[in-house]
Amino acid sequence: MKGMSERQYAAHVGLSRGAIQKAKAADRLVLHEDGSIDAAASDRLRAEATDPSKTRKAPAPKLKPVPEAAVAAVGDTLREQGLSAPAVGGGTTFLQAKTANEVLKAQERRIRLSRLKGELVDRARAETLMFRLARDERDAWVTWPARVAALMASELTAALVDAYEVEAALMQKVLEAHVRAQLDSLAEIRPGLG
């Protein structure tokens, strides 16, 4: 076969095989002796015989405008990953948007996996727990003087049998002992995130 078959030529010009058969029957195609289609000569003949106003043109795709917030989010995501981001108002390419989308999906999967492994906790729950721990520690320090005052007084009274004044070093020594005991009791508090 010297030229193309009807099927091959139909694919070549983007028409149906039936349209090629009609053109062949109407002698609008150039054929070789073996009946195959001479593609180059047939293309020229079709171009000369076709009325340009009657050709079908593919409709221009209707594109929706992309909100600036979405474009800014794509740029932020690309910059976070150290990739080049579009200039403001410069437009985002499809490749940049697809890259940003893939980066975000990977980050989301990593976070979901960390949460499943128990490496991440719910922020609201953690904030509530930390608030409760801080309040408990504050309450412990607020009530501390009342609890140790009697102990300190008895220790100082025993040491001051003959003296009228409390020595600063002795007061500091007694106070440090009680502060360390208080801090040791606070160190036993362990946050439970389970």
Q: CB neighbours (10 Å) of residue 81?
A: 14
Of 26, 27, 33, 35, the C-alpha closest to 6 is 35
What is residue 49's predicted lDDT score, i.e. its pLDDT? Answer: 78
Q: Let me know whether 29 and 47 are in one domain.
A: yes
**How far, in whole angstroms, is CA 139 from its chain's centroid?**
41
Residues 40 and 73 reside in one and the same domain? no
| 112 plus 128 within the same structural domain | no
Q: What token pair was written down for 30? A: 């150039």
Neighbours of 153 (CB within 10 A): 11
Q: Which of 38, 27, 33 is nearest to 5 (CA)?
A: 38
Please choose, from the candidates 178, 155, 156, 177, the residue with its C-alpha nearest in 3D space to the C-alpha of residue 165: 156
- With contact defined as beta carbons under 8 Å apart, do 42 and 60 qualify? no
- Rounded-to-10 torsion of CA 84, 86, 92, 95: -10
pLDDT at 118: 79
Inter-residue contact 40 to 13 (CB < 8 Å): no
Per the structure block, which two tokens stand in for 155?
């220790």
Q: Is residue 60 part of a domain?
A: no
- Mean pLDDT split into 10-residue runs, the chain, 194 residues: 88 89 89 90 84 65 67 74 66 72 83 82 84 83 75 73 61 78 74 57
Whether residue 132 is found in the same domain as residue 168? yes
101 domain residue, yes or no: yes
Q: Answer yes or no: is 192 within a domain.
A: no
Look at residue 183 and tell me if it is in a domain.
yes
pLDDT at 168: 63
Examine the domain organization and report whether 127 and 182 are in the same domain.
yes
The domain tally of the chain equals 3
The answer to whether residue 33 is domain-embedded is yes
Asked whether residue 110 falls in the same domain as residue 138, the answer is: no
The residues, ordered by sequence, that sit 6+ positions from 133 with a Cβ below 8 Å of its Cβ are 189, 191
Structural domain span for residue 129: 123-187
**Neighbour-count burial of 57, counting CB atoms closer than 10 A to its CB (0-12 exposed, 13-18 middle, 19+ buried):** exposed
The CA distance from 35 to 3, in Å, is 8
Residues 128 and 160 placed together within one structural domain of the fold: yes
Tokens encoding 91: 């437009």
pTM, rounded to two decimals:
0.34
Query: Is residue 62 included in any domain, yes or no?
Result: no
